[in-house]
Structure 1
Amino acid sequence: MARMHTRRRGQSGSDKPVADEPPEWSDVDAEDIESRVVELAEQGNEPSQIGLKLRDEGVKGTPVPDVKLATGKKITTILEENDAAPELPEDIRNLMERAIRLREHMEENSQDMQNKRALQNTESKIRRLANYYRGDELDEDFKYSYDAAVELLE
């Protein structure tokens, strides 16, 4: 697949191995995994961080290589069921944080053309994601602006 903001092609990433059931060595109960996911979310971890912690630390010392295989549900689904889901999707939140940092940098360094371009690209990605999430995760009348992003992330 081509890169989004350049003319170069991207590199293919690694794929997860095809598996229908969790490995035998990771026989953690699904309820224990779900309670650990909610516990980690209440500590302020994002869904991707929760997956990494479960992979590395595990539940009661036993690592969980894939939450979806072990429980049959994604981490975000588990969080939604337990009313612990974040108000913004993780990808758009990270892009908004980056856009805010870039905008603050541009106020101090107005001649920095590389960061000006990076800010334009980042805000373009945010607008595309906002169109994708509008109605489900975001309000129907959501329109991205710097002020709206600062207000959402406070």
Structure 2
Amino acid sequence: MGSITYRKLGSSSWTSFLPAVAIVGLLGTHLTAAALGLYSSAPSVSVVEPLTGSSLEGRMQIAVRADDGPMGSGVRGVEFQLDSTSGTWKPLTLDPSSMTYRGTWEAASGTVGHHDLYIRATDYTGNHRTVYVTVNVSASPTRPAGVQVLAPL
């Protein structure tokens, strides 16, 4: 049989060894959680602006809060689309001061009537949640014939 030799390590060995163990342990924990499917829930999404049923003219402000929770992998991004989920998604920008994703859409470029604004939040493991609000795009106010708008002096 083989023999086992025990050696006492000095305190400096433990000091330099422990941070490496902590980093490997943290990385291993996240990899294990991802492999076991523990990051399988999609981020929660809350549309702050516009509210369902809003009537819009001109520029539509979009504000969304998304959170992947304490056990999630984190929100990678939030995007929006109008009237479809199969086209090109447009990214919203994170405002770090309020932790709100923001963007704009020119309502005047859309057709008059009801539209569904789809919002999608995706986490770092690829899970995504899509929500929508319905808004009404109104016609731009029209001016009576012969009325000119003058620029201020």
TM-score normalised over the length of structure 2 = 0.22
Larger fraction in helix = 1
Larger fraction in strand = 2
Larger Rg: 2
TM-score normalised over the length of structure 1 = 0.22
